[in-house]
Amino acid sequence: MSLAAAFVSGVLFLVAFFALRLVPISLSTVAVLRGALQVLRDSQETDDAKERAMRQSTVRLLSVLAAIAWRLLLAFLLAAVPLVVADLLGLAPWQESASALERWEMIVALCLVGIALCYGWARTWSKT
């Protein structure tokens, strides 16, 4: 039963990871950095304009960091629910279920589920 709880936990984490849009939000940091570097490289900009752009970029990066942090926390909390519920119901000890997540079979299975979810979400988003 610990394998089932671990598998459900891993699937919930993957679903939360994609549903909370962690990848697009993380990629937005690259866009912010590119914009800041573009201003820094522009020889026609004044030092004050460059400094202002860097301050704005810093604020945007900190807000993206906060968004990533709370979404990751939520994803981990959702993933812990099946482990805690299985433990409370006496189906599988929490430690045993958590250690099942480290087994190579579970990692491979969750990777395959993640690939399927990624493919499914990509197909769904491309239609809209």
Nearest 5°: phi and psi at 103? -70, 145
When pLDDT is averaged across residues 100-125 and rounded to a whole number, the result is 85
Q: At which residue do the structure tokens 């900190």 appear?
A: 62
Which amino acid makes up residue 73? L
Q: How confident is the model at residue 1 (pLDDT cuts 50, 70, 90)?
A: confident
pLDDT digits (tens, 9 = 90+) for 2-59: 888 999 999 999 889 888 988 889 888 888 888 888 888 888 888 888 888 889 989 9
pLDDT tens for 62-91 read 999 999 999 999 999 999 999 999 999 999
Spatial distance between the Cα atoms of 21 and 35, rounded to a whole number of angstroms: 22
Long-range contacts of residues 55-60, Cβ cutoff 8 Å, at least 24 apart = 57/32, 57/33, 60/32
